[in-house]
Amino acid sequence: MVQLTPCDEGFDLHAAGRIILRHRPDNVSISVACGDPDVVMVRGNFRLSDRSVASAPLLLCEVDAQGCLALSSVDGAAKVALDYAADASRLTITALSPHDRIALDFTLAPDDVLWGGGEQMSYLALNGRNFPVWTSEPGVGREPGTPLTDQASADGSFAGGDYWTTNYPEPTVLCSGGWALSLGNAEYVELDASAPGRLRVHVWSGMVTMDLFEGVPADLTRQLGARFGPRQALPEWALGGAVVGLKQGEASFDRLDALIEAGAAVSGLWCEDWVGIRETSFGRRLFWDWQWNADRYPDLPARIAALKARGVRFLGYVNPYLAVDGPLYPEAAAQGYFAQELDSDAPYLVDFGEFHAGVVDFTNPAAADWFAEEVIGKRMLDFGLDGWMADFGEYLPTDLRLFDGDPMQEHNRWPVRWAEVNARAVASRGRTGDVLWFMRAGHTGVQAHCPLLWAGDQSVDFSRHDGIGTVITAALSSGLVGNAFSHSDVGGYTSLFGNVRTDELILRWYELGAFSPVMRTHEGNRPDDNLQIDSTPALVAGFVRWSRVHAHLAPYVRHLVAEAQATGLPAQRALFLHYPQDAATFTIQDQYLYGADLMVAPVIEAGASMREVYLPGESWRHLWSGQDYAPGWHNIAAPIGQPPVFYRPGSAFADLFKGLAA
């Protein structure tokens, strides 16, 4: 059991049969400071720094008659109280002096591996690095020193990103030693595992609340899932084929028909441009006013009805901002629904790159109700949409005035508030579990509302930190902290500085998308510059084949949906969730278990025709050849069209899997 044991000189926090936090005068594990933050934001890209002054060390310990702990400095200028609720395994640390920074140093064993941090895209294991927890744009390339990243940041916007920048960070950490922690704080946090033998959790707050858990990784994931409530089901209709992303106005329908006539299995048509478009130097953007644009789609209601009669649902797009030149903006402004400037009642406007938008203030209950009912409810659900991309959520600046709350605390909460608005709108129509909506932004608590993540705006390439491979790491890391379902833009999204799709990239992304809970394509930010799924006969044939693979797996995905609801386990799983005694699985982030019965090792390197695959625990059967492989490392042939996929011969779904090779 997790236990906090006071002693005359300090305390020990026990978990998983060992001490993970030990405080003594010669081993100070809790410290406090006063901070003075500086936050810079350019189009959703943030850089934070802090001019902090540390207190004298907390060398003295007092234990009252009830066993409550207080730590203080010798001069009495710094003091914190510790409260441990054993029934909830919750530790609360409160600064009783005027300090607004708290750091805790957890002790790690030499072989401990750490995971978590929300949705991480570069590294599954956190060891050896520091991970700031602040939701933001991930960046382009995400590797300083490379041409793509450096060009994106050349204008001073730091838009190139880094290994730790992510739409969805979360202050939750799992340890291979058998314990996990999850903070209740929304303030800026750093999860610093850069020093051997230590995890430093540094919080920009005078109070830290932390839930603690024990168990093997799968048990920790189940407990973290339970912390946020049951997972929502994916809509049954979404499992029967691919969601085709097209944004060419009326021409989208003819292109969809051609794909269906070619034999593609299609469950949905996703037209994010249903609201109209705006051409910018970045590429083709949307017109941020969340209602039907009749100029772009003249007969959309009839089109939606006709598609639905054929078993194809229509999906759109929405985000929590309103462009100043759209008709919804003055309506919201007249009601006072926007966040405001610090020194006036004027709406605070965010520069989104060649246009400005107001921030709908979801700390104002009336504004949240208005958006849920008048925008999503009436203009989207009642209009006929069966799903949408619920985009953004990362951009909340810190230099504005909210109806309620401090922007420094609300910034990370913003995606959770945004998710709650979407979930409430869907529930108001009795359609929870039938509407397919998905988000990229998140923080602690988004799991309770959002049924499906997508991995954000990957570059249209094979690059290490921003290409196709990052969506695997994103699914595995987010799945560990209670998010059951993840997917990605098949084909990638960001095309800048001459970086465009290749046939190989699209064909490899088909393979990955087919073995994901939802298979959805995207035309990207510069569709006219890039290959599309219907650009060539070979790309059409590839899409037809892999959409049908995805549809063929629907009975198995249905099983994974039920399993996620019952156990909290994600559909795409890190190998160690089922093989916790096999340390070789602890850092594998480029292949995944799809449920317990499929092993998927997508090809994520350009030009590769083979790849190395690790098979743990038992014999596995190669999907395409039927050959059985013993546990261990293997070099597997992986021509385009045959990514390394294996299944357990004893699986109840073995016949279903075998049918894919027929």
Does residue 166 contact residue 123 with C-beta atoms inside 8 Å? no
Q: Which of 394, 420, 466, 597 is catalytic?
A: 394
Q: Count CB neighbours of 145 within 10 A.
A: 8
CB contact set of 541 (below 8 Å; sequence gap of 6+): 262
Among the listed residues 269, 270, 287, the one whose alpha carbon sits nearest the alpha carbon of residue 278: 287
Helix (H) or strand (E) holding 221: helix 217-228
Could you confirm whether 351 is annotated as catalytic? no
Q: What is the DSSP letter of 551?
A: H
Does residue 640 contact residue 508 with C-beta atoms inside 8 Å? yes
d(CA 266, CA 286): 24
* Token representation of residue 161: 């990103």
CB contact set of 446 (below 8 Å; sequence gap of 6+): 168, 415, 416, 419, 439, 483
Among the listed residues 452, 132, 34, the one whose alpha carbon sits nearest the alpha carbon of residue 270: 452
The angle, 0 to 180 degrees and rounded to 10, between the axes of the packed helices 537-552 and 503-514 is: 10
Cβ burial of 65 (10 Å; 0-12, 13-18, 19+) is exposed
- Phi first, then psi, for residue 564 (nearest 5°) are -60, -40
Could you confirm whether 75 is annotated as catalytic? no
- Phi first, then psi, for residue 652 (nearest 5°) are -65, -15
Among the listed residues 317, 292, 319, 313, the one whose alpha carbon sits nearest the alpha carbon of residue 244: 313
* Token representation of residue 323: 């462009």
No. of helices (H) and no. of strands (E), the chain:
12, 41
The angle, 0 to 180 degrees and rounded to 10, between the axes of the packed helices 554-567 and 537-552 is: 50
Amino acid in the structure at residue 283: G
CB contact set of 279 (below 8 Å; sequence gap of 6+): 285
d(CA 396, CA 239): 34
Does residue 660 contact residue 621 with C-beta atoms inside 8 Å? no
Q: What is the DSSP letter of 263?
A: T
For 277-300, the DSSP string reads EEE-SS-EEE--S-S--TTTSTTH
Could you confirm whether 391 is annotated as catalytic? yes
SS3 assignment, position 612: strand
Q: Which of 214, 391, 420, 466 is catalytic?
A: 391
CB contact set of 566 (below 8 Å; sequence gap of 6+): none
Q: What is the dihedral of CA 516, 482, 646, 514, to 10 degrees?
A: 0
Q: Which of 457, 461, 534, 597 is catalytic?
A: 457
Does residue 390 contact residue 418 with C-beta atoms inside 8 Å? yes
Q: E strands of 391-442, at which residues? A: 436-438
**Catalytic (active-site) positions:** 391, 394, 457
